Amino acid sequence: MTERILIVDDHPLTRDALAGLLAHNGFDVVGQAASGEEAIAQARELRPDLILLDLTMPGMDGLTALPKLREAAPDAEVVVLTASEDESNLLGAIRAGAAGYLLKSEPPERIVVFLRGVAQGEAALSGAVARRLLDQVRDGGSRTVPDSVAHRLSARELEVLLLLDRHLGTDEIAVRLFISEHTVRSHVKNMLGKLGVSSRREALEKLAGG
């Protein structure tokens, strides 16, 4: 199935370059927006499968627009594409429901691969920010997360797994991540499937490198 994508960036040249890249690689670019307000209106009307979102824009910025985009097009996955490696932006985007966080320094072919992965429910994190996210969620912990685990899970699933590793229950994780307990259980179920295990204990063994 061809994924329908909305590109949100305030620079026309960047939008056009991304549109050309994605159309050439089989995506259906259904819209382009230059601001958060415009993106929300288009998302509500066009109902894309994917939204590629810049953070720094005049008026409503990407972080402010992100949860509103999720409301406007609840079935769409939002992937941030930005030049910012700022930790507060990274965590803010993930907590607002972004399915991924990519840096504009990524090679074009990698952006295509990441977006195809998101369409299949995979993670989309540039290497430079993936480790930073894991470090933040661990609150400075010393555990090294195996690539075989980090690369299979979405950003939110990684958060849930690392909080499980800190012995938090479903209710505590829900409070920490500002999501419902039902959503936590859904993330756990998806995480177990992606890791090929049948229990939380086995998932934690994978995390430990077992």
Domains and CATH numbers, the chain: 4-128 (3.40.50.2300), 138-207 (1.10.10.10)
Beta bridge partners of 80: 53, 101
Mean pLDDT (whole number) for 97-108: 89
Cβ proximity of 61 and 38 under 8 Å = no
Cβ partners under 8 Å of residue 16, min gap 6: none
- H/E run at residue 56: none
| pTM > 0.75: yes or no | no
pLDDT 10s digits, 107-143: 999 999 989 988 887 767 776 666 666 555 555 444 5
End-to-end Cα distance, the chain:
36
Give the pLDDT band (50/70/90) at residue 179: confident
